[in-house]
Structure 1
Amino acid sequence: MAFKPKSDSDSAISEINVTPLVDVMLVLVIILLVTAPLLTQSVHVTLPKTSETTPNIDDQPLQLGIDAQGAITLNKEPVASLDALTTALTAAFTKNKEIGVHLYADQGVIYKKVAEVMATVQQVGISKIAFVTVEE
Structure 2
Amino acid sequence: MAFTSNSAAGSPMADINVTPLVDVMLVLLIIFMVTAPIMSYPIDVNLPQRTTTPPPPTAPREPIRLRIDASGQIYWNEAPQPITALRGMMDAEVARDPTNQPMLEIDMNNEADYGVLAKVLAHAKNADMQKIGFVQATQ
- With the length of structure 2 as denominator, give the TM-score of the two structures: 0.52
Residue 116 of structure 1 deviates from its aligned partner by 1.0
Task: Report the CA distance between 1:76 and its aligned residue.
Answer: 0.8
Q: 2:84 aligned with 1:74, yes or no? A: no
Kindly provide the CA deviation profile for residues 40-73 of structure 1, in whole angstroms up to 9, marking residues without a partner as x: xxxxxxxxxxxxxxxx8x7111111110000011
Give the aligned partner of residue 108 of structure 2. Answer: 105
Paired with 1:83 and 1:127, the residues of 2 have a C-alpha distance of 20
User: What value does the CA root-mean-square deviation take over the aligned residues?
Assistant: 1.9
5+ long unaligned stretches in structure 1? 1-55
% identical aligned pairs: 25
Runs of 4+, deviation exceeding 3 Å: none
Shift of 1:122: 1.0
Structure with higher helix content: 1
Give the drift of 1:103.
Answer: 0.2
Bigger Rg over Cα: 2
Letter in 2 for 1:61: P
Q: What is the TM-score with the length of structure 1 in the denominator?
A: 0.53
Cα separation, 1, equivalents of 2:86 and 2:137: 25
Structure 2 unaligned residues grouped into runs of 5+: 1-58
